[in-house]
Chains A and B, each alone.
Chain A
Amino acid sequence: MNDPYFDLLMWARGPGFTIALVVLAGGIILRLTEILFLGRKTDLAPAKGNAVVAGLKTIFTRSVPREGLVKFSPVTYIGGYVFHIAFFIAFLLFGPHIALIKSVIGLSWPDAGRVIIESAAVIALVAMLALLYSRITDPVRRSISGFQDYLVWVLTVLPLITGYIAVNKLIGDGTLMMALHILSAEMLMIAFPFTKLMHAVTFITSRYYNGAIQGRKGAES
Chain B
Amino acid sequence: MTDKPMLPDLMRAHGISRRGFLKYCASLTSLMALSPAMMPKVAYALENAPRPSVIWLSFQECTGCTESLTRSHAPTIEDLIFNAVSLDYHHTLQAASGHQAEAARTEAMQANYGKYLLVVDGSIPIGDEGYSCIAGVSNLQMLKETAAGAAAIVAVGTCAAYGGIPHANPNPTGAVSVSDIIKDKPIINVPGCPPIPVVMTGVLAHFLTFGIPELDVLNRPKAFYGETIHDRCYRRPFYDKGLFAEGFDDEGAREGWCLYKMGCKGPTTRSVCATVKWNDGTSFPIQSGHPCLGCTEPNFWDNGGFYKPLSVPAGDYRKAALEAIAVGVVAGAAGAGLARANKSRAAKAHEKVDAHDLERKS
Partners in one complex: yes
Question: Within the assembled complex, what's the spacing in Å between the Cα atoms of A95 and B242?
Answer: 6
Give CA–CA (A37, B179) in the complex, Å.
60
Interface size class on chain B is 35 or more
Give A31 to B239 CA distance when docked, in angstroms.
Answer: 39
Contact A175 B332, beta carbon cutoff 8 Å: no
B354 located at the interface, meaning its Cβ lies under 8 Å from any Cβ of chain A in the complex: no
A22 within 8 A of B: yes
A30:B311 contact, CB within 8 angstroms: no
Is A25 an interface residue when CB atoms closer than 8 A count as contact? yes
Known: A1-B161, A14-B313, A33-B336. A25 touches B321 (CB 8 A): yes
Would you give the 0/1 interface string for A59-101, flagging 1 where the beta carbon is closer than 8 Å to chain B? 0000000000000000000000000000000000111110110
Those of B306-345 within 8 Å (CB) of chain A: 308-317, 320-321, 323-325, 327-329, 331-333, 335-337, 339-340
Which residues of chain A have C-beta atoms less than 8 A from B231's C-beta?
169
Q: Does A99 lie within 8 Å of B309, measured CB to CB?
A: yes
| Interface status of A10 (Cβ within 8 A of chain B) | yes
Contact (Cβ within 8 A) B336 A10: no
Residues in A with CB closer than 8 Å to B228 are: 174
A9 and B300 alpha carbons, distance in the complex (Å): 13
Give the residues from 21 to 38 in chain A that come closer than 8 angstroms, CB to CB, to chain B.
Answer: 21-23, 25-38
Q: Which of A22, A113, A117 contacts B320 (CB 8 A)?
A: A22
In the assembled complex, the CB of B262 is this many whole angstroms from the nearest CB of chain A, namely: 10
Q: Report whether over half of chain A's contact residues are helix, strand or loop; otherwise say mixed.
A: helix
Q: When each residue 158-192 of chain B gets 1 if its CB lies under 8 Å from chain A and 0 otherwise, what string results?
A: 00011100000000000001011000000001000
In the complex, chain A residues whose CB is within 8 Å of the CB of B303: 6, 10
Contact of A29 among B177, B320, B328 (CB under 8 A): B328
Q: Are A33 and B332 in contact (CB under 8 A)?
A: yes
Q: In the assembly, what is the distance between CA of A114 and CA of B237, in Å?
A: 10
Assuming the A-B contacts A1-B161, A32-B332, A34-B336, are A96 and B242 also in contact, with contact meaning beta carbons closer than 8 angstroms in the complex? no
By the criterion CB–CB under 8 Å, are A6 and B297 in contact?
yes
Residues of B within 8 A of A (CB): 161-163, 177, 179-180, 189, 217-219, 228, 231, 239-244, 258, 260-261, 267-268, 297-299, 303-304, 308-317, 320-321, 323-325, 327-329, 331-333, 335-337, 339-340
